[in-house]
Chain A
């Protein structure tokens, strides 16, 4: 079977659990920005939890099915419509041949995962079906979806059935203001003390440059770096370094003005100092931030980062247990 794209929405692409192993060649992880929503959507339709889904941003696509299918939609809160009738979020439901699935603008959250039983069956490239836009490969023809695209769907598992859902207490809470836990480091020591204070005290606003590569934040106090003699090859601005690798979640501050958090389609390296890194447990939260949503950066140490990681894992284990039947 296949899914016809009638309208693509704002930024819609095929994503899965990601493409690790090639960052040393400039090829990023990619994959669904909100991995917890990916796992939930797939388990709801009986897929392997890393199967490929349709990820949409802010405004979902309009899709038409050429055969009966089972779908589930997780992540951001938007009205889901099947032939104009409202359908539940976070619950699997059946569609018939010829049915049209559409969405209103997302009210809270910024990304939805649209899972179909059997998974989106685009070719595997370097171990993943995820789209990598800058490299123009993976996903559907290496790009965001366009009207007229026809997405192949794999074979559903025996576990695919409608009406599957989880207890509401297991669902993520979406808000317009989040706390992002940050492990200071890498070039944090090059900040002036006044900026160490303001960085964690300020409330930052998501800017318009907020995509799968990175999220830019504004309206905080510009950061000041300590003066120094530029090292050979680094460049003159105190925020410059000799080009080096960028961790996912790392926060760079070009010119000291606006922090940028790198996400799963990150450029793999460059010449800006990073002042710290958002911990792995909080990366999904960034995926659900809309422009003008607010964030505060909360300082944690490694022990706290590992405890948050363990708590996230326990939560996903509870999801798996709830959907194992």
Chain B
């Protein structure tokens, strides 16, 4: 992964008031930065230190919330630095799951929304996906959809609002899709919109404001306080940092069929447990991705 494999020798540590420690692994986004943060968060969780109340991994950073009456800020800082130093050059491994998420690209609902907010867009004469295809050097929208959906993505952060995943594509930096955010955020985004801003895709878990370019929608609920579907029974939020996602383009008829299943409460997702090795991935990204997709499809 060329330049993306170079991380600062040591993370940057900074307190956020008397209850938070903010740790920036790297100023720029890369899979090694995400994996290093994830590995430290996992080790910190394993140690179950009294006074550590929340552990929040993010894309290339992580945030720890603590009770300074139960753990001194300096003690927590020293512990995290010690965990970081102890990671060494070890291969960063993750036990996770791979999930297929169907997407209706170029759907009518995000199209209606993007037309309503055209004056806030960089290129009012084309749609979001046409614009993204063009500035990323793809000959057509179909070629863009192929690039977006063929290689899998990492959930590198969950947040902003309840259950919203940020996703980072598992390809070389030169192949990564980059788009600016809207010039001014929209006041409306359809629920379950597939968005993209900077190098990150997301799924809007709830309807509301948003600044990412809109490419499509998924029929799959990913956040439901009522927990109606089987894969939301454990928790109202579906995604966790470290999940691997493969988008599957679907057509309108298939979308409607799946929505009917959602409404009937019978809808399920294709999910498979998988172990991920950063070292093996970096050595041969495309080959490793093919292995991951075989796990997803059970062959």
Residues of chain A at the chain B interface (Cβ within 8 Å): 20-27, 125-126, 132, 134-137, 142, 183, 185-186, 188, 231-236, 241-250, 267-271, 274, 277-281, 302, 305-306, 309, 313
Contact = CB atoms under 8 A, between A and B. Distances in A.
Given A24-B159, A26-B237, A247 B198 contact: no
A24 B223 contact: no
Interface in B56-75: 56-63, 65, 68-69, 73
B16 A135 contact: no
A295 to B, nearest CB: 16
5 contacts: A21-B54, A23-B56, A23-B65, A26-B158, A248-B20
Interface of B: 4, 14-20, 22, 24, 26-30, 53-63, 65, 68-69, 73, 157-164, 166, 173, 178, 180-181, 197-200, 205-206, 208, 223, 225, 235-237, 240-241
Contact of B160 (A26, A232, A274, A280): A26
A183 B157 contact: no
A280 B240 CA distance: 28
A245 B28 contact: no
A167 to B, nearest CB: 26
Given A27-B237, A306-B18, A235 B28 contact: no
B162 A242 contact: no
Nearest to A245: B63
B7 to A, nearest CB: 12
Contact of B24 (A125, A142, A244, A248): A244
A227 B237 CA distance: 39
Given A25-B159, A244-B61, A135 B18 contact: no
Contacts of B160: 26, 243, 267-270
A233 B17 contact: no
Contacts of B180: 235-236
Contact of A235 (B58, B159, B198, B208): B198
A278 B15 CA distance: 11
Given A27-B163, A242-B28, A302-B15, 16 more contacts: A23-B65, A24-B159, A26-B163, A125-B225, A135-B206, A183-B15, A183-B16, A183-B17, A186-B22, A233-B200, A249-B16, A268-B161, A274-B16, A280-B19, A302-B73, A309-B68
B109 to A, nearest CB: 19
A267 B30 CA distance: 23
Max chain B CB contacts within 10 Å: which of A132, A231, A232, A242? Answer: A242
B225 A185 contact: no
Across the A-B interface, the 8 shortest Cβ-Cβ residue pairs:
A233-B29, A245-B63, A247-B16, A277-B17, A137-B225, A231-B28, A247-B20, A268-B159
B17 A305 contact: yes
A293 B229 CA distance: 47
Contacts of B157: 243-245, 269
A30 B178 CA distance: 34
Contacts of B61: 242, 244-245
B158 A279 contact: no
A126 B53 CA distance: 15
B60 A244 contact: yes
B173 A232 contact: yes
Max chain B CB contacts within 10 Å: which of A134, A247, A271, A281? Answer: A247
Contacts of B29: 231-234, 242
Contact of A249 (B17, B56, B59, B166): B17
Contacts of A247: 16-17, 19-20, 22, 63, 65
Contacts of B4: 232
B19 A248 contact: yes
Contacts of A25: 158-159, 162-163, 235, 237, 240
A134 B208 contact: yes
Given A20-B54, A268-B159, A135 B225 contact: yes
Nearest to B164: A26
B58 A136 contact: no
Given A185-B15, A243-B157, A243-B200, A21 B53 contact: yes
A247 B21 CA distance: 8
Contact of B161 (A24, A231, A267, A280): A267
Nearest to B160: A267
A186 to B, nearest CB: 5
A27 B162 contact: yes
B18 A279 contact: yes
A242 B16 contact: no
Given A232-B30, A233-B199, A24 B55 contact: yes
A186 B164 CA distance: 24
Contact of A24 (B27, B56, B206): B56
Given A24-B159, A185-B16, A137 B27 contact: no
A122 B72 CA distance: 36
A250 B237 contact: no
A234 B15 contact: no
A137 B162 CA distance: 10
A183 B17 CA distance: 5
A245 B198 contact: no
Contact of A242 (B27, B56, B73): B27
A126 B17 CA distance: 26
Contacts of A277: 15-17, 20
A93 B234 CA distance: 43
B159 A26 contact: yes
